[in-house]
Amino acid sequence: MENVSQDQAKNNQIRWRSAAEQKTYSSKLVEALRHVRRSSPPDNVSSRGRAVREKADKVLAIAAKGRMRWSRAILKKRLKLRLSNHKKAKDRSKLAAAGNSRRKNLKIEVPKKKRLRPLQRRVRVLGRLVPGCRKLSLPNLLEEVTDYIAALEMQVRAMATLTELLTGANAVAGNVAESSNRLEISRQLEHPPQS
């Protein structure tokens, strides 16, 4: 059983490092980015940035094909957010109608603090970092973390490439525009327009 899981992990690793995977991810990401560009307001960069980040994560999760827990959790988050947004609007209206009576009845109990050993604490922190793995046992958590790290690395690579490409394109475009202008100008200079 252990050997099987190890082989799976190694296969996953190879998958995330492959060029094909990165290619597909990049193309999907570009598509998603185009969506973002169209949908979100151009002036608010930070919100755009967040949207881009979320899109990137979503595309990554899709690339993972739902094999790992964190990918499923990311995809679930999207749905939950949308649903919760709808729900929040409804709830607010309900609360306003009902008044404060509900809140008075509710008792919030402060959870008792557990004395976690440092190791346990770190395990919890790691669980919080990886999406959807908060209450996972250590061996499963480590498996998820392995795959998640590989996927993140691929994501970073792809996005870096993309940004470089775009910035390079911009720069080159700028350069070329300049050079083309210069050429035009030089041509004009060489061949002065004949009046």
Partner 1 sequence: MNRTRPEMLHCLNATGNLAAATSREMSVLERQRAVLKWHQEQLKRRQQRHFDDLNVFSAPLLAQNINGLIDDDGSGLNEILTRPTGMETGRPDFGSKSGVILDLDHSAGHVNASSGYCLNFAISGNINFPPTVVAAATQVNTAVGAEAKVREPTTSERLSVTTGRQSSKKRKAEKSLPSEVDEEEDSIVKKIRGCADEEEPTNSDQHQNSNKNNWNNNSSKNKESNGDKSNREASSCTSKGNSKASAVQKPDYVHVRARRGQATDSHSLAERIRREKISERMKYLQELVPGCNKITGKSGMLDEIINYVQSLQRQVEYLSMKLAALNPSVDVNINDLFAKEVSPACLASYLPTMGVSPEMASQSYLEYNPVETMGQVCVSEGVNLVDASLRRSMSPPVSIPETLLHSSCFNQIHNSLPWELDLQSLFSMEFQQERPINCSLADLCWPY
Least Cβ distance, residue 87 to partner 1 (angstroms): 27
Least Cβ distance, residue 22 to partner 1 (angstroms): 6
One of 14, 45, 81, 98 touching partner 1 (CB under 8 A): 45
160 binds partner 1 (CB under 8 A): yes
Site for partner 1 in 58-117 (CB under 8 A): none
Q: Where are the alpha helices (DSSP H) in the chain?
A: 2-17, 19-39, 45-63, 69-98, 101-105, 118-129, 138-190
One of 2, 99, 107, 193 touching partner 1 (CB under 8 A): 2
One of 8, 84, 93, 161 touching partner 1 (CB under 8 A): 161
Q: What DSSP designation does 40 have?
A: S
4 binds partner 1 (CB under 8 A): no
136 binds partner 1 (CB under 8 A): no
Q: Which residue in 60, 51, 54, 46 sits closest to 77, CA to CA?
A: 54
The backbone torsions φ and ψ at residue 84, rounded to the nearest 5 degrees and listed phi first, read -65, -35
Least Cβ distance, residue 90 to partner 1 (angstroms): 31
Q: Burial-class residue 22 by CB neighbours within 10 Å (0-12, 13-18, 19+).
A: middle
